[in-house]
Structure 1
Amino acid sequence: MHDLKSLRQEFPVLDDGFLEFCASHGIFSLEDFLLHDLYALVGFAECQASSAELKQVLGITQVLSIIDSQHQPWLNGIDLLEDQQNKHVLSTGLEGIDSLLEGGFCEGKFIELVGSSSSGKTQVCLAAAAYIAHKYMCTVMFLDTCSSFSSKRIACHVNGLLELLQKEDKERCFKRVMNSILCRPVLDLLELSKVLHQIESTLASQVKGQHTKMRLLIVDSVSSLIAPILGRNSTGHSAMVSIGYLLKKLAIEYNIAVLIELNTRAAAALLISARVKL
């Protein structure tokens, strides 16, 4: 997260007065800034004294300039095609899913798994986690928001993949795969945001150009976190915008596949919320 205070030394226009103005609107980072209506923010600034108004508007302009400078560069069609061809597709081990997705989960992509309750979404997540950790010898991160993760079910999937191996080889591979699937319980949206920032920090600290061991991030499920707040006001939509931004950033910048699970009702509510916002 890009804290506005950390930018004050490099950009003097972001002085204490501007930071106080932002804090009064719940803005403490560049990410918070993106969630606000800029026209409304400028309107609030214009209600102040003329000198203060000028400073706040200059500050807003400066922050927008900083955000713009962090955008990915423009790419032409050839660059985009080459980038797509260089991305790996991770087979899930589930024939129907792989066929539907033309091979499986594409690295650098954000995949939404939507279905009604008890339709098998978590089973897909667990099976894919076991298969990808085994086949690609990589780390899979599983963020569990509703106690859906089952080490016994993961073990069953892994045993099925290793049934043709000799006993010693099977035991060694079983331990390796099970140790490669990391589960982290997450209780609310705030904690989810903190965990995603921690993951980003860990990936960013790796040597540039080094291929990360983590190739799949699963969130099962976002629905349980947004259900209590979605629909009451804009808070639920804003929170999901922020979480969605972080997940897509992890996928694109660190070239990992990101899978989130949503139930049908939550997905429909999010769609309606997005349309209203537009």
Structure 2
Amino acid sequence: MGLLKSMEDEYPLIDSIFQEFCGSRGIFTVEDFLIHDLNALISFAEKQPYSERLIQGIDQLLSVVNGLHKPWLNGVELLKDAQQNKHTFAVAFEEDDPILYGAFREGFITELVGQSCSGKTQVCLLAAASVAKGYAGCVVFIDSGNSFSAQRIAHFVNQDSSFAPKQGNIEALDVIMMKILCYSAFDIFSLFDVLHQLEMKLKNQICSVRLLIVDSFSSLIIPLLGGNGPYSHALMISAASLLKKIAHEYHVCVLVTNHMVAGEGGTSKPALGESWKSIPHVRLLLSRDRESNTISVIRHPSMAAGTQVKFRISNS
């Protein structure tokens, strides 16, 4: 996605009149358009001399976003990229085997789905601790619901037997904690701001990010899905495309959380609908009983659906 001017030849409604109209609102790129308040933009368009044509231009631009796709890559390029750049992170509770080895991989979007209190945030915090402690580069944690806990991350770090309390570990813990960057985002527009800033830093090699966490992605999208139709859908797809771009081009593991909603027949299903479910490379369902937590595979490129791993979350 780029400048609106570059789209003029292919899309006749995105002409000089439409571009001038958008420019008066500070909109010069597709990204600018998507993070703008659509209702305010339509209201402003209705007051202009060419209101009907401007609104048609808005609809066409939304259709363009919905039809975005990435160019094809051949198998040799994909294999070479996977071998050289897409490393897998080991994430484990209390020295158990890694949780579903291969689920946390650079270039992947991994989605954690589950009911409230199923352990989604705990897995995010554990992943942040594991990557910050064991790998070069930093972790970016985008917090949409005041779920980030530095104390919990420190607990996971200190849980490692190789990190038992001893002289110098206080300083080492500080180094690890400094590699974890937390940002608050309480609506989709704040998320876009953080992601665009992050992409710019990665592009200019200002920072090296190994893991990007959005907890919770669904809570930022759901408020939009009530009555905005194509606009909210376009925002979700645009955010998904940006996450995929960051994951693939900059070799970042992206971890997002999603909640459950009521489905047919009283069953529960992941929120965000059919358009979203094809976005993550890995989808994991978290559940909890009195004794343990369970991760079940919904989708995984190298693991059968239904595969389960049990684990415990220490409260100490």
**Unpaired runs of at least 5, structure 1:** 36-48
CA distance in 2 between counterparts of 1:106 and 1:149 reads: 22
Letter in 1 for 2:221: I
Aligned to 1:81: 79
Q: Kindly indicate which of the two structures has a greater share of residues assigned to strand.
A: 2
TM-score (norm 1): 0.72
Letter in 1 for 2:247: A
**Matched-pair contact (CA < 8 Å) for 2:158–2:164:** no
**Unpaired runs of at least 5, structure 2:** 36-49, 263-268, 278-316
Aligned to 1:256: 252
SS at the partner of 1:113? strand
Q: Kindly indicate which of the two structures has a greater share of residues assigned to helix.
A: 1
The size of the alignment, in residue pairs, is 241
- Quote how far apart the aligned CAs of 1:163 are: 5.8
SS at the partner of 1:190? helix
Residue number among 221, 238, 243 corresponding to 1:242 in the alignment: 238
- Quote how far apart the aligned CAs of 1:137 are: 3.4
Residue number among 211, 225, 241 corresponding to 1:230 in the alignment: 225
**Matched-pair contact (CA < 8 Å) for 2:92–2:98:** yes
CA distance in 1 between counterparts of 2:158 and 2:245 reads: 34
- Quote how far apart the aligned CAs of 1:79 are: 2.3
**Matched-pair contact (CA < 8 Å) for 1:131–1:161:** no
**Matched-pair contact (CA < 8 Å) for 1:237–1:270:** no
**Matched-pair contact (CA < 8 Å) for 1:92–1:104:** no
Aligned to 1:195: 194
Map Cα deviations across residues 78-100 of structure 1 (whole Å, 9 max, x no partner): 22222222221111224889453
SS at the partner of 1:147? coil
CA distance in 1 between counterparts of 2:201 and 2:276 reads: 31
Aligned to 1:20: 20
- Quote how far apart the aligned CAs of 1:155 are: 1.4
CA distance in 2 between counterparts of 1:155 and 1:72 reads: 39
Matched, 1:161 2:160: yes
Letter in 2 for 1:261: T
- Superposed counterparts of 1:1-278, under 5 Å: 2-4=2-4, 16-20=16-20, 28-31=28-31, 74-86=72-84, 87-94=86-93, 98-100=98-100, 102-161=101-160, 164-165=163-164, 167-206=166-205, 213-234=208-229, 235-265=231-261, 268-272=270-274
The percentage of counterpart residues that share the same residue type is 46
Aligned to 1:46: none
| Aligned CA distance change for structure 1 residues 199 and 164 (closer, same or farther; 3 Å) | closer
